[in-house]
Amino acid sequence: NAGVTQTPKFQVLKTGQSMTLQCAQDMNHNSMYWYQQDPGMGLRLIYYSASEGTTDKGEVPNGYNVSRLNKREFSLRLESAAPSQTSVYFCASSARGARAGRPYEQYFGPGTRLTVT
Partner 1 sequence: SQQGEEDPQALSIQEGENATMNCSYKTSINNLQWYRQNSGRGLVHLILIRSNEREKHSGRLRVTLDTSKKSSSLLITASRAADTASYFCAGINTPLVFGKGTRLSVIA
CB 32 within 8 A of CB 49: yes
Using the rule CB under 8 A, give the single segment among 11-19, 21-29, 73-81, 102-110 that binds partner 1. Answer: 102-110
What whole-number distance in Å separates Cα of residue 62 and Cα of residue 72? 24
101 touches partner 1 by CB under 8 A: yes
CB of 92 to partner 1, least distance (A): 7
- Residue 22 CB burial class (10 angstroms; 0-12, 13-18, ≥19): middle
Residue 74 in the binding site for partner 1 (CB under 8 A): no
104 contacts partner 1 (rule: CB under 8 A): yes
Ramachandran region, residue 13 (left: φ > 0; alpha: ψ -120 to 50; beta: rest)? beta
* Number of residues near partner 1 (by CB under 8 A): 30
Query: Which residue type sits at 73?
Result: E
By CB under 8 A, the residues from 10 to 69 that bind partner 1 are 31, 33, 35, 40-43, 45, 48, 50, 58-59
Q: Which of 21, 92, 114, 116 binds partner 1 (CB under 8 A)?
A: 92
Which residues make up the interface to partner 1 (CB under 8 A)?
4, 31, 33, 35, 40-43, 45, 48, 50, 58-59, 90, 92, 94, 98-111
